[in-house]
Amino acid sequence: MDKLKAQIAEVADLIRNSEKVLVFTGAGISTESGIPDFRGADGIWSKYDPEDFTIQKFMSDKRARKLHWDLLSDGDLSMFKADPNPAHHAITELKNTGKLYGVVTQNVDGLHQKAGLPDEMVLQLHGDLSHARCLDCGSRFPMQTVVEWIGADIDEPVCENCSGMLKPDAVLFGEQLPFEVLSEAEQRSRDCDLCIVLGSTLSVYPASLIPRYASEGGAKLVIINLGPTELDSWADIRIEGKAGEIMPEIVAGVGK
């Protein structure tokens, strides 16, 4: 048995012997669905000025809001068009084994839910670009619906319930991470007995603290990523590879 097969079998065995498996996902799992990352050499911030993506600019500048809606409609941020990949589906299969304690994600694409996970199982630390939210009444709308409104020659989409301003339901620069989501993610990380990291360099704080908390709490830590991560030295098992190739094999091995 080669090293990779042995590692896959070892992780499957860890899952079988665990009761609460927490999965932490980063941009690497989304890029396998064709979604560009934000911070890579060819990422979104190499094409656009991050200053146009502050909450202050969004609230005060109609031009900045138009840029957001254009990118969400048919540009680099039109994530609602993407489909889940084998890694997302493997995580859903993991839920069906009864072992999944939750998914903590840095991603804003909603692909975990699209792959069949219920909202309460997914803790989106940076929000969700697959939906928009009204800043006045809090109503939430699928981004595809908002894009249809824009396609009907609406200059700027507004809430159909109260006519309030709509905002993409993701965390913009200058906004705090959602406190309740962050607190729940920390609590689950300290309670889990196995944490599996998929597609993250673990370099963005405070999100990257979640796997650290899990390890400090006594959980086994598995990292699957292309390239080094900030917590490689903490990992009980470190697999170099794509989440969409490795995770389905691991989950398939759980039932063997």
What positions carry a catalytic annotation? 126
Residue 130 CA to residue 182 CA, distance in Å, equals 19
Q: Using CB atoms within 10 Å of the CB of residue 52, give its burial: 0 to 12 exposed, 13 to 18 middle, 19+ buried.
A: middle
- Please give the structure tokens belonging to residue 125: 């630390």
Tokens of 99: 């072992």
Contact (CB, 8 A) for 36 and 42: yes
The rounded distance, in Å, linking the Cα atoms of 66 and 50 is 15
Burial of 180 by CB count in 10 Å (0-12 exposed, 13-18 middle, 19+ buried)?
exposed
CA 62/CA 186 separation, integer angstroms: 37
Question: Rounded distance, CA 178 to CA 165, Å?
Answer: 20
Chain Cα centroid distance, residue 182: 13
- What are the structure tokens assigned to 41, written together? 């050499």
Give the pair of three-digit tokens for residue 53: 């993506």
Going across the sheet that includes 122-124, the strands are: 122-124, 100-105, 21-25, 194-198, 220-225, 237-240
Residue among 8, 18, 24, 14 at smallest CA distance from 207: 24
Which positions ≥6 away from 153 have C-beta within 8 Å?
A: none
